[in-house]
Structure 1
């Protein structure tokens, strides 16, 4: 049986075959019911394998989900709006989600959590910082694979660009970034996070304000905007705690000579 299952690419059935056979005997299941259980197991196994592959390709930094997001630190954040975004309706709408806020307020966590939700719903996702994105395009240019790289970045269902505007986009980076956003406009969904306030995003395009305006116009069209306004979770402990003297080391008992 094993060679035949492998030939049909159904060898995963072997993982649950014995357990399902015992279950079928104990419950006196009909053959069709037994077969249905095996088929459902195989479908679940394949779905899990596809999810694991999407997660690897997504390049997430860590396993950040909405369950681990501390909404209590951000009382002004609309939880209902965030959970609505987690349905991934915005991906079908082919619009952007723009997340702004000071350092350490959870922008990357929230972006990755939405990415995780998308991957679980069958969407291909890529998480990448602005710096990594531009470096990958420069490398592709040097190797003669720029067009192929741009097409991949243009077509991925959800592209998450972290730390937008952390470094200014200078020629030819500003043109590359514009071309990517233009290709994705009204075709796919994009999430951007930034430490800059929305009104300051134009400053990311240091040398060409016209390209910046055209790029941001496409990003803002129909976009969902989220502002995370709160204290950084990376805040240092109070000075009083930091200045506590170290505990005295226990003295060794004197030895009799």
Structure 2
């Protein structure tokens, strides 16, 4: 039997079968470059570490449910010079996630709120954090539907559990039925346990009426704004730039 064939069941038992992907390459390199056994073993196992890290990163990005690939590398800060680039770059360190702080991105339609929110989420995934992106409408619709099949608690945990929850387009439409209560519960349960990014076309002082009840609104906003950074993104719409800027306009995926 070939020595490699003898290794296969052992590597599988140790959950190291990925080593086989680079074993032949590293073995030839060890012979050609006269590597020591320690150096050969180090390079072989380092390949496995990188493979696992890449696999875990791909899994985090898949579970995050982003709308395409939106990163800071693909965001054109020059299009809207008023956007606070230095503050966004500071947020991109994702220290706010470690501190369980919130980020509210406010601005009119098309200035890049969704792109920035997902770019921050991408950075958080790179840092090993569990991230979930959802529109406010989809999140609240899922919770409303879950009451019908008695899966509400499990569905609520999906939004409460992540290290970073990104809620896009809050306030785009009025909240109805149990939606204000559900939103309050997500804010309450995540308070000081996880970070939340919320994007909205509405100014902060327009948020309390969404809850329909002054006491619930006060409790929700108090928790949301305590340990929070509020950033207003101002400028032209990426989707419909001024005529003189159309030739230099970036791709549509920069839009919020």
Structure-2-length-normalised TM-score: 0.89
Partner secondary structure for residue 142 of structure 1: coil
The correspondence of residues 201-240 of structure 1 with structure 2, limited to 5 A, is 201-205=207-211, 207-235=212-240, 238=243
| 2:178 is the alignment partner of 1:172 | yes
Pairs aligned (count): 239
- 1:213 CA displacement: 2.2
Counterpart for residue 51 of structure 1: 57
Structure 1, unpaired ranges of 5+: 242-257
CA deviations 1:47-86 (Å, max 9, x no partner) are 1111111111000001000111111122122212111101
* Map of 1:115 onto structure 2: 121
Q: Residues 162-201 of structure 1: matches in 2 within 5 Å?
A: 162-201=168-207
Contact 2:106 2:231 in 1 (8 A): yes
Q: 1:104, CA displacement in angstroms?
A: 0.4
Instruction: Give the SS at the match of 1:143.
Output: coil
Q: After TM superposition, give the deviation of residue 169 of structure 1 in Å.
A: 1.5
RMSD: 1.7
CA deviation string 1:113-158 (max 9, x = no partner): 0000000110000000001100111122211111122223212100
Structure of greater Rg = 1
Aligned counterpart in structure 2 of residue 36 of structure 1, from 24, 32, 42: 42
Deviation at 1:226, TM superposition (A): 1.0
The secondary structure found in structure 1 opposite 2:38 is helix
TM-score of the two chains, using structure 1 as the length reference = 0.89
Gaps of 5+ in 2: 1-6, 247-256
Structure 1 residue ranges (4+ consecutive) displaced by more than 4 angstroms after TM superposition: 236-239
Match of 1:8 in 2: 14
Please identify, of 169-178 and 156-165, the stretch whose mean Cα deviation from structure 2 is larger.
Answer: 169-178
User: Residue 60 of structure 1 aligns to a residue in which SS?
Assistant: coil
Q: CA deviation at 1:16?
A: 0.8
Q: How far off is 1:216 after superposition?
A: 1.5
